[in-house]
Amino acid sequence: MDCFSYKNSSLFCEDVNLLDIADEYGTPTYIYSRKTLEQNIDLYKQSFKNKNSLICFSVKSLNNLAILKIINDKECGFDIVSYGELMRVLHVGADPNKIIFSGVGKSEMEIVEGINNGILSFNIESESELQRIERIASKLKKQVNVAIRFNPEIDSGGHDYITTGRKGDKFGISSENFVLKLCDFINNSSNLNLIGLACHIGSQILDIENYRLTARAIINLADKIKKTGIELEFLDLGGGLGIPYIDDIVPSAANLISLIEEEFKDRDEKIILEPGRSISGNAGVLLTKVEYIKDDFLIVDAAMNDLLRPSLYKAKHDVWNVSQTQNKEKNWTIVGPVCESSDVIIKDHKIHALENDFLAIKTAGAYGFVMSSNYNSRMRCAEVLVNGSNHYEIRKRESFSDLIKNEIIIND
């Protein structure tokens, strides 16, 4: 359940009318509901019967500092993939001992920063990365915790671009024997401690039976590692739980956790999950204005540079008119101003709309603002956080000087 609903014919986020937000901050603007975020986190946390668990929010899905602060205050950990994400979470006071560093291409600098900041673990994705971490750890004379990201070769469905756990995907290590070989390497190193195994099979997963297969695969491998004398502290099943965009039927975090706990009964390892979308997705909308109507097109002021998902993955986001009226609905194709034919938010969408109306593009909290760009020299949106009847600008709309601040004209 999200906290966007109609009251007196106008769409509200919690107790704030979206028309007031349009008035105060302009459009396009991302709007997030604090209550929705907190409810989503509570659902994850309260569903665990076994309290030996950790939710590491996947920062890549939504990374505004104000949001990360709220998530940190809920005592979550963080799943990060870059130096920038590490710095963001440390900036809001994250406990380093709850930070997991994933990603196939960690640079020397990122590894040094992770080590010096004492993060919980690096999720290792290749032999070369493992060797690099060992080299840096011994140079820094530090003990470094690592987990191996195992690729269980499960096709979790969904768009090709967001499926990660199949044979041939670039993530993780597919062969069990190779994982065991890396375990030996770690065992023989005086600077590395193997503390976990990790998997992440994809994103927008609608069939949670895929998690059962993943849990079984990871448990099976953990048992093989145990035979070599290594007791793992955690097993990390990654993120990926799907959410309803338009007509998807999705399991809840509670369903997912009861399935995982069923598979993990009698296990001592801590369970880690790395949800992103299922925490941030329905907590945000992108508010946009209808600039022009032409034929069957609604031309709005938000574009693919603001919300890339429809153009990149043919993802469908529901779009609501902020004002409910008796006007007749018709099928519109909603497009943005960017000069690309793929700058389409949604095709054949039944809605009533007039020029100057405000529309809310729903379920845009995850992979929305974070994937935005300055394409066509468009300034990135403002972000606003709603808490009850209060609203706060948590990121200013970019200005022309923001747009050019790192550019240098050469007077040659």
Q: Cα(246)–Cα(258) distance, rounded to whole angstroms? A: 26
339 part of the active site: yes
- Residue 189 binds ligand LLP, judged by CB under 6 A: no
Please identify which residue in 204, 214, 305, 363 interacts with ligand LLP, judged by CB under 6 A.
Answer: 204
* Active-site hit among 3, 199, 339, 381: 339
Q: Cα(81)–Cα(36) distance, rounded to whole angstroms? A: 25
Nearest-Å Rg of the Cα atoms of the chain is 23
Write the CB contacts of 236 (distance below 8 Å, at least 6 apart in sequence): 56, 100, 123, 147, 196, 197, 198, 199, 271, 272, 273, 274
Residue 28 or 275 with smaller CB distance to ligand LLP? 275
Shortest Å distance, C-beta 20 to ligand LLP: 29
Judge contact between 391 and 38, C-beta under 8 A: no
Residue 200 or 391 with smaller CB distance to ligand LLP? 200
Tokens of 129: 């990365």
Residue 78 or 332 with smaller CB distance to ligand LLP? 78
Q: Rounded to whole angstroms, what are the CA distances from 318 to 50, 239, 252?
A: 36, 23, 20
Ranges within 148-167 binding ligand LLP (CB under 6 A): 162
Burial of 25 (0-12, 13-18, 19+ CB in 10 A): buried
Half-sphere exposure of residue 70: CA atoms within 13 angstroms, side-chain side: 23
List residues bridging with 10 in a β-sheet. Answer: 7, 323
Which strand (E) or helix (H) includes residue 216?
A: helix 209-227
Shortest Å distance, C-beta 106 to ligand LLP: 12
Shortest Å distance, C-beta 104 to ligand LLP: 10
Shortest Å distance, C-beta 252 to ligand LLP: 14
Q: Which stretch binds ligand LLP (CB under 6 A): 184-192, 275-283, 297-305, 329-337?
A: 275-283
- Residue 367 binds ligand LLP, judged by CB under 6 A: yes
Q: Cα(234)–Cα(270) distance, rounded to whole angstroms? A: 4
Shortest Å distance, C-beta 285 to ligand LLP: 15
- Residue 309 binds ligand LLP, judged by CB under 6 A: yes
Residue 36 or 278 with smaller CB distance to ligand LLP? 278
Please identify which residue in 2, 79, 110, 263 interacts with ligand LLP, judged by CB under 6 A.
Answer: 79
- Residue 278 binds ligand LLP, judged by CB under 6 A: yes
- How many other CB atoms are found less than 10 A from the CB of residue 245? 18
Shortest Å distance, C-beta 367 to ligand LLP: 3
- Residue 311 binds ligand LLP, judged by CB under 6 A: no
Ranges within 44-63 binding ligand LLP (CB under 6 A): 58, 60-61
Residue 28 or 172 with smaller CB distance to ligand LLP? 172
Q: Cα(264)–Cα(271) distance, rounded to whole angstroms? A: 8
- What are the start-end ranges of the E strands in 23-74? 29-33, 53-58
Q: Rounded to whole angstroms, what are the CA distances from 344 to 159, 337, 340?
A: 18, 9, 9
Residue 27 or 58 with smaller CB distance to ligand LLP? 58
Task: Give how many residues touch ligand LLP by CB under 6 A.
Answer: 22
| % helix, strand, coil for the chain, step of 5 | 35, 25, 40
Please identify which residue in 35, 88, 200, 289 interacts with ligand LLP, judged by CB under 6 A.
Answer: 200
Shortest Å distance, C-beta 56 to ligand LLP: 8
Tokens of 278: 């299922």
Residue 199 or 232 with smaller CB distance to ligand LLP? 199
Q: What is the DSSP string of 237-289?
A: ----B---SSS-----HHHHHHHHHHHHTT--SEEEE--SHHHHGGGEEEEEE
Q: Draw the binding track, 207-246, toward ligand LLP (x: CB under 6 A; -: no contact).
A: -------------------------------xxxx-----
Residue 13 or 147 with smaller CB distance to ligand LLP? 147
Shortest Å distance, C-beta 69 to ligand LLP: 19
Active centre residues (catalytic): 339
Residue ranges that bind ligand LLP, judged by CB under 6 A: 58, 60-61, 79, 102, 162, 200, 203-204, 238-241, 274-278, 309, 313, 366-367
